[in-house]
């Protein structure tokens, strides 16, 4: 396990660079393919010296000089990325924390500790939660806010903002929209693994030794179910990065998903942060796309690595396998 952890750690910079290079090559070739399909464009030339150009881009990125943003914005790509990383990681953190707390609470409280059965109310909640895409939740929230505001008397204002960035009430709706699915997933998983765990022989033995249900549940069983819970949380966080493209788009939240969406979405005139912008200039924008892929890969790999380290720390069985457990014979 420790060998895996070391290997994973060493793989992070290699993986990040490889993903960045792939993104760079993709944007160049996709632009070339678009030129080929355009009957009015001049004859396109095949991208050349990809390694050299990628090296120059990385050098510029490290120097914080990635050029200006496409038209419509008066700041640089580096500034936009810095802002986006902060916005996305903040939102991701809130969502992961919130969904973990709520999901675990729901899942654990649904398990009847005496016989390990799962209470019936959990199944419909998790079934509905897992079938609700975050963007549909986001739209429902926006519609609900609009509906409530319309029902108010004249001059009524949105009691929660339906768009824009801010570490205040602005984060409520995007966070809630993103939370539904991972919460349901975690509740479903934690309830089932705890239910399975409480039926194991060592639980019967612990009960025979006179341990209280409280101790058995929260100390013995809980430590053994944390491993799948952590892996699920890490998986949910990765999944959330994909969902953020849509939710950040709905709520005009200037994060990585928001920028990522515009670099790959069909070009059109669109409302961006309160202004109409010709977003066609974002489409396949090489420095932006390359750095976005690099950053997202970095976040993926760090999440994966953190999950493995956390499992190593909390799961007694894994520690035992590695020879570091307290019950080692």
Partner 1 sequence: MKSDPNLEYVQQFGFRPAGMRINWSLILGAILAAIFIALAVFGPKFAPHHPLDENFIYVYDGGFVKSPFPPLTVPGYPLGSDEFGRDILSRLLWAVRPSLILVAVSAGIRLLIGFCIGLGAGWMNNRFSRMLESLISVSLSIPVIFVALFVIAALGQSWGLWAFIMGLTLTGWAEPARMIKEQTRLIRTQRYIEASRAVGCTNGELIRNHVIHHIMPMVWMILAFETSAALLTSAALGFLGYFINAVWEPLGDFSSIRAAGLPDLGQMLAVSAGGIGKTPATMLSAGILIFLMILGFNLLGEGLRWQADETNRSHRKTRWQVWNEKIIDSLEERWYAQILRIKRALPVAIPIAAVFLLVIGGGYFLWNSTHLPESFSAISVYGEHQWASAMHDAQGTMFTDVSGPANPSVKQLAVFDQPLNTAPVVAADGTIYVGSEDQNLYALDADGNRKWVAALPDVPSQGPAIGPSGTVYVPLSAGGIAAIQPDGNLAWVLEGKEGETPVAGLIVSSDETIFFITTNYVQAVQADGTLRWRRSVPTYSYGRLFPRLTLDEKHFVFIDTLIRTNDGSTAFKETVDPTDVFIIGTDGKTYLFTTHEFQEFITKEEGGASLVPARSWNERVLGLGYRTPGIGGIAPNGNIYLYYASNYTGPKVFWLDAQGELISQNGYAFERINGSLASVPIGADGQGYFYLCGLMSMQIGEFTANCTAQAAKAGSGVAWTVNLPPGAFPIGGVILDGKLLVSSSDGVLYELADQPQ
Residues that bind partner 1 (CB under 8 A): 26, 29-30, 33-34, 37-41, 114-117, 123, 127-128, 130-133, 135-136, 139-140, 142-143, 146, 199, 238-239, 241-243, 245-246, 249, 261, 264-268, 278, 280-281, 283-284, 296, 300, 304
- Taking the least distance from each CB to partner 1, the nearer of 210 and 266 is 266
Q: Find the shortest distance in angstroms from Cβ 244 to partner 1.
A: 10
Q: Find the shortest distance in angstroms from Cβ 20 to partner 1.
A: 14
Q: Find the shortest distance in angstroms from Cβ 115 to partner 1.
A: 5
DSSP secondary structure code for residue 68 in this structure = B
Describe the chain by its helix, strand, coil percentages, rounded to 5: 70, 5, 25
Whole-angstrom CA distances from 292 to 24, 264, 296, 297, 298 are 10, 11, 6, 8, 10
Q: Find the shortest distance in angstroms from Cβ 143 to partner 1.
A: 5
Q: Radius of gyration (Cα) for the chain, nearest Å?
A: 24
Q: Find the shortest distance in angstroms from Cβ 159 to partner 1.
A: 17
> Are 63 and 45 contacting, i.e. CB atoms less than 8 angstroms apart?
no
Greatest distance between any 2 Cα atoms in the chain: 82
Whole-angstrom distance, CA of residue 36 vs CA of residue 253: 34
Q: Find the shortest distance in angstroms from Cβ 135 to partner 1.
A: 5
- Taking the least distance from each CB to partner 1, the nearer of 198 and 319 is 198
Whole-angstrom distance, CA of residue 204 vs CA of residue 113: 12
Residue tagged 């976040």 (tokens): 299
Bridge partners (DSSP) listed for residue 76:
68
- Taking the least distance from each CB to partner 1, the nearer of 114 and 153 is 114
- Taking the least distance from each CB to partner 1, the nearer of 38 and 152 is 38
- Taking the least distance from each CB to partner 1, the nearer of 102 and 139 is 139
- Taking the least distance from each CB to partner 1, the nearer of 54 and 282 is 282
Q: Which residues contact 85 (CB under 8 A, 6 or more apart)?
A: 256, 295
Q: Other C-beta atoms within 10 Å of 153: how many?
A: 5
> Are 194 and 225 contacting, i.e. CB atoms less than 8 angstroms apart?
yes
- Taking the least distance from each CB to partner 1, the nearer of 12 and 223 is 12
Q: Find the shortest distance in angstroms from Cβ 114 to partner 1.
A: 6
């Amino acid at each position: 396990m420790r060998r895996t952890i070391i290997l994973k750690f060493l793989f992070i910079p290699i993986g990040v660079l490889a993903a960045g290079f792939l993104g760079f090559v993709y944007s160049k070739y996709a632009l070339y393919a678009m030129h080929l399909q355009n009957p009015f464009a001049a004859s396109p030339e095949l991208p050349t010296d990809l390694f050299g150009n990628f090296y120059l881009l990385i050098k510029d990125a490290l120097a914080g000089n990635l050029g200006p943003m496409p038209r419509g914005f008066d700041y640089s790509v580096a500034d936009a990325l810095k802002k986006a990383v902060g916005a996305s990681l903040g939102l991701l953190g809130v969502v992961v924390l919130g969904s973990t707390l709520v999901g675990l609470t729901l899942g654990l409280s649904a398990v009847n500790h005496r016989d390990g059965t799962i209470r019936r109310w959990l199944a419909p909640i998790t079934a509905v939660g897992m079938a609700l895409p975050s963007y549909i939740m986001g739209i429902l929230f926006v519609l609900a806010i609009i509906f409530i505001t319309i029902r108010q008397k004249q001059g009524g204002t949105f009691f929660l903002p339906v768009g824009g960035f801010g570490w205040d009430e602005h984060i409520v709706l995007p966070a809630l929209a993103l939370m539904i699915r991972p919460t349901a997933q975690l509740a479903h998983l934690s309830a089932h693994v705890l239910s399975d765990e409480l039926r194991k022989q060592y639980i019967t033995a612990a009960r025979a030794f006179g341990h209280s249900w409280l101790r058995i549940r929260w100390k013995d069983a809980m430590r053994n179910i944390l491993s799948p819970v952590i892996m699920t949380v890490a998986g949910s966080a990765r999944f959330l990065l994909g969902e953020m493209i849509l939710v950040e788009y709905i709520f005009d939240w200037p994060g990585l998903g928001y920028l990522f969406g515009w670099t790959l979405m069909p070009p059109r005139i669109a409302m961006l942060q309160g202004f109409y912008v010709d977003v066609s200039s974002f489409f396949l924008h090489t420095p932006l796309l390359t750095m976005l892929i690099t950053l997202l890969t970095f976040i993926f790999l760090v999440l994966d690595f953190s999950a493995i380290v956390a499992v190593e720390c909390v799961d007694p069985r894994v520690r035992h396998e590695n020879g570091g457990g307290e019950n080692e014979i």
